[in-house]
């Protein structure tokens, strides 16, 4: 039986949380392998809504081991707050069912301060970050000055690392017109949080190897989407980590060959949050209709998502770059009742037809979508659980999407509810 990696095939917010939760019934372990608490997943189970950011979506299922890998940057205060919040809905999270990589880099208050000060100083040129410190935390990791989870267990080492960290960041905070972070209170915060978070620390790569040797199934849960990848996305309007499936191995400490099947998640239309290019954006009544019907507001920030038609060029590119074997198509029901649907099949750029999104920021801003039109459907697809319940025109739309993205639709989601899912191919058996 294959392991499965679930990744976003657009700009994030594709509905990965529900799909991972649905698939986790077939898995023994669910692993987050990149990103931070800027990524929000919403699950709806038996009418109860769960909003998760750092916790893997499988945490709501009893008997599953949830893992936060070394590729994730972890805000310990946010993680504990999330554990407390979900406990209020009857889900108990303990060191028995959650392990956090001891070598995971931490997001600290100084990172949020730097993040927000930079965005404020950038004015109209801002990237559109959530201000939660994810980018600066990854910078510290690469710059080899990060404080990692294991460092909290050694107060002497921790104090030395705090001095180095603040020596670097306070210079920039002053330059940006923000107040410096004081060493004493900052160190006290870390010493206070340490005994609360350290019980969850573990040797993740070793645990996963034991699980693999035992023949158990692992589900790798990505955050954001391929077009937000630091290398392959719409740079610089991207996140600070690699979001494609190859990161599942690096970000969890498992061999690349053990990742298995790659399932990409894509909406039946397109959305993105924040600044950056968006060729098929509909800044009009159509976009407003999709936003309202799809409840397209950020799980973490509440920001309105920009909405537009399905972009087959982008999803096909994500399929190729990310090694995606099949797509889970979500929110088909949001398109119910729209008379005429459009799908972008190529771009027009400087008089030429091209079939990929260029890497250049200027070129990305200039491309114009070339559309193919489809008849819509008036019958409801919401809640459909079998192929025969779908209108013929909806099936035609899905089949054409498969042709354009050069990958099969292996799962179809027709509402936020866990069981409103149509399975064409089980990714754990393919």
Active site residue 13: yes
CA distance 242 to 38: 14
**What are the phi and psi torsion angles at 307 (to 5°)?**
-125, 150
**Can 325 be counted among the known catalytic residues?**
no
Instruction: Catalytic residue, from 41, 111, 169, 232: name it.
Output: 41
CB 168 within 8 A of CB 204: no
User: Of the candidates 182, 109, 113, 192, which has an alpha carbon nearest to the alpha carbon of residue 152?
Assistant: 192
State the Cα–Cα distance between residues 184 and 212, nearest whole angstrom: 44
Angle at 424 between CA 343 and CA 310, to 5 degrees: 15
- Computed from CA positions of residues 52, 58, 60, 63, in that sequence, does the dihedral angle turn out positive or negative? negative
State the catalytic residues.
13, 41
């Amino acid at each position: 039986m294959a392991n499965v990696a679930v990744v976003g095939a657009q700009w994030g917010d594709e509905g990965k949380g529900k799909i991972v939760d649905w698939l986790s019934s077939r898995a023994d372990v669910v692993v987050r392998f990149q990103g931070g608490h800027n990524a929000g997943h919403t699950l709806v189970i038996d009418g109860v809504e769960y909003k998760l950011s750092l916790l893997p979506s499988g945490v709501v299922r009893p008997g599953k081991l949830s893992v936060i890998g070394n590729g994730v940057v972890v805000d310990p205060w946010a993680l504990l707050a999330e554990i407390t919040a979900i406990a209020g809905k009857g889900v108990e999270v303990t060191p028995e069912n959650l392990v956090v990589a001891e070598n995971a880099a931490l997001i600290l208050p100084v990172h949020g301060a730097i993040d927000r000060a930079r965005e404020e100083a950038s004015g109209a040129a801002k990237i559109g970050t959530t201000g939660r410190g994810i980018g600066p935390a990854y910078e510290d990791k690469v710059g080899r000055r990060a404080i990692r989870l294991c460092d909290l267990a050694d107060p002497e080492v921790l104090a030395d690392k705090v001095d180095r960290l603040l020596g670097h960041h306070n210079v920039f905070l002053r330059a940006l017109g923000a107040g410096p972070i004081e060493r004493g209170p900052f160190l006290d915060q870390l010493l206070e949080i340490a005994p609360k978070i350290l019980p969850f620390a573990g040797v993740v790569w070793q645990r996963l190897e034991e699980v693999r040797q035992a023949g158990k199934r692992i589900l790798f849960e990505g955050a954001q989407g391929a077009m937000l990848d630091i290398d392959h996305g719409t740079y610089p309007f991207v996140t600070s980590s690699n979001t494609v499936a190859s990161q599942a191995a690096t970000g969890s400490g498992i061999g690349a060959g053990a990742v298995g099947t790659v399932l990409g998640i894509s909406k039946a239309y397109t959305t993105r949050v924040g600044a950056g290019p968006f060729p098929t954006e509909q800044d009009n009544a159509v976009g407003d209709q999709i936003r309202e019907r799809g409840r397209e507001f950020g799980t973490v920030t509440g920001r309105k998502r920009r909405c537009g038609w399905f972009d087959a060029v982008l999803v096909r590119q994500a399929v190729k770059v990310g090694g995606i074997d099949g797509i889970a198509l979500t929110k088909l029901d949001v398109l119910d009742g729209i008379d005429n649907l459009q799908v972008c099949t190529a771009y027009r750029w400087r008089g030429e037809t091209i079939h990929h999104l260029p890497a250049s920021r200027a070129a990305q801003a200039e491309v114009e979508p070339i559309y193919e039109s489809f008849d819509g459907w008036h019958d409801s697809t919401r809640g459909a659980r079998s192929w025969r319940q779908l209108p013929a025109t909806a099936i035609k739309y899905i089949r054409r999407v498969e042709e354009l993205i050069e990958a099969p639709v292996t799962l179809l989601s027709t509402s936020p509810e866990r069981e409103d899912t149509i399975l064409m191919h089980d990714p754990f058996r393919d």
